[in-house]
Structure 1
Amino acid sequence: GAIQTLAIIVKVVDFKDYLNTAHLSKLDQIDTNTSNNQASATVAPNCLKIYNEFSPNDDGQNDYFYIDCIDQYPDNQLEIFNRWGNLV
C-alpha cells in the first residue's frame, strides 16, 4: 500500500523530442493493480551550449569554435571578445 518513486537522470545526446516509457517486467510479489505498471514522460531538451574557450593557433586545442544546436536559433548574432574585453 505504499507509494514509491523512481527518479532517472539521463543525458540527451541531440535536440529531438523523446517519449520515454518505463514498465514493470518482473515482480517479486503479487501485483493487485496492474493498471499502474507503466508510465511515460516526454523530454524536450534544450541543447544550446556555447563553449567559452577558443584559441585558433593550430596547437590542436580549442582551434575550432562550436555552438551546439545553433541551427535551432536562426536569428542569432555572435560577438567575440578577447581576454581584455575588447570586441574582436
Structure 2
Amino acid sequence: MKNKSPFIKIYIILLIISIITLIVLSILGNKIRVGYLGEFKFDEYHIENTLKLNGFDIDETKKVFTIDNILNNDALTNYIFTNEAEFI
C-alpha cells in the first residue's frame, strides 16, 4: 500500500499536465493566421532599398529588367522574392 500513493500522485500530475497541454494546443489551433507576404507593396523606393540591402548593384540589376526603356517591375519583384530571373 505504501507504493500506491506516489504512483497516484505522479499519475494525477501527468494527467493535469496533459489536459492543460491539450487545452492550450486547442486554443492555438483555432487561432486565425494571417499571411503578410502577399501584402507587400513594391514601388521604386522598396525595390532600391531591397537591392541595396542584398548587396546588388542597383543600376546593373535594373538594366537587366529594362525592356525598351521601361522597367519591368513584375519581373524584378519576382526576382527579389525567388532569386530566379525569367527572361522572355
TM-score band, normalised by shorter chain:
under 0.3
Question: TM-score, normalising length from structure 2?
Answer: 0.26
Larger Rg, first or second structure (1 or 2): 2
Question: TM-score, normalising length from structure 1?
Answer: 0.26
Relative contact order, higher structure (CA 8 A, sep 6+)? 1
Larger strand proportion of the pair: 1
